[in-house]
Amino acid sequence: MDTDGDGLNLSEENRSLTDPNNPDTDADSYTDGEEVEAGTQPRNPYSRPYAGGYPDNACLDSTPSPTGTQIGDIAPDFALIDQFGELVSLYSFCKRPIVLYSCAAGSPVCVRLVQEGVEDAVDEQVLVVIPYVDSGTAFTEPTLDDVIAFAQELDTEGVPVLLDPYQFIPQTYERDLDAITVVRFGSGLTLESIDQD
């Protein structure tokens, strides 16, 4: 019997340790049944079947406790819209090292740098954040269309390209808007380095 209409019967709910009276135990907008079918964790809001097909690397045991934005600190979470129009959280990738690029849409240098970074990434998850558009004469606020165009130009699967119109990433890591910022996170989202080109 499926008491909450999520596609799991009571035996499956018990096996998954999900709430048989709540179709979305972790409130991440995917039903428990969808998550079980996708192989993600239906009790963890950071584990979800992303439309972009990103690997499930959410923390298994507990949510990290952020300590700051300096080297050696555990980074704060953020959730930004990706090229598929879906909210993507940093904490969805905490089981593996992360390389985060923050740079302008419309910048061939940024596209090339990210492509090289993706090629060099072995065990790392690459994320790209677009806080602005470089028109050649001015910086303007990006739109989802800019993010989609950047992702198409990047032409790499499994890399979230994220819309950051309020410049959360440059402000968080105190970098100039006209620079490419590369933030590296180690295991458990510990900040390892912040570089600016």
The pLDDT tens digits of the residues spanning 142-181 come to 999 999 999 999 988 889 999 999 888 888 887 666 678 9
Helix (H, G, I), strand (E, B) or coil at 185: strand
Copy the structure tokens of residue 16: 């998954």
Q: Left if phi > 0, otherwise alpha if psi is -120 to 50, otherwise beta: which for 23?
A: alpha
Percent share of the chain, pLDDT over 90: 36
- Give the position of tokens 């080109």: 197
pLDDT at residue 184 in the model: 94
Residue among 38, 65, 57 at smallest CA distance from 127: 57
Question: DSSP code of 77?
Answer: P
pLDDT at 77 over 70: yes
Q: What is the pLDDT of residue 143?
A: 95
Backbone angles phi, psi at 145, to 5 degrees: -60, -35
Q: Would you place residue 75 in the very low, low, confident or very high pLDDT band (cuts 50, 70, 90)?
A: very high
Beta-bridge mates of residue 74: 190
Beta strands 98-102; 125-130: pairing state: parallel
The whole-number average pLDDT for the span 57-61 is 70
Query: 75-101: b or e for each residue (b if 16 or more CB lie within 10 Å)?
Result: bbebebbbbbebebbbbbbbbebbbbb
Q: Can you tell me the distance from the alpha carbon of 127 to that of 108, in angstroms, rounded to the nearest whole number?
A: 17
pLDDT digits (tens, 9 = 90+) for 1-16: 888 888 888 888 888 7
Average pLDDT over the chain, rounded to whole? 86
Contact 90, 78 (CB under 8 A): yes
Q: 196 or 98: which carries more pLDDT confidence?
A: 98
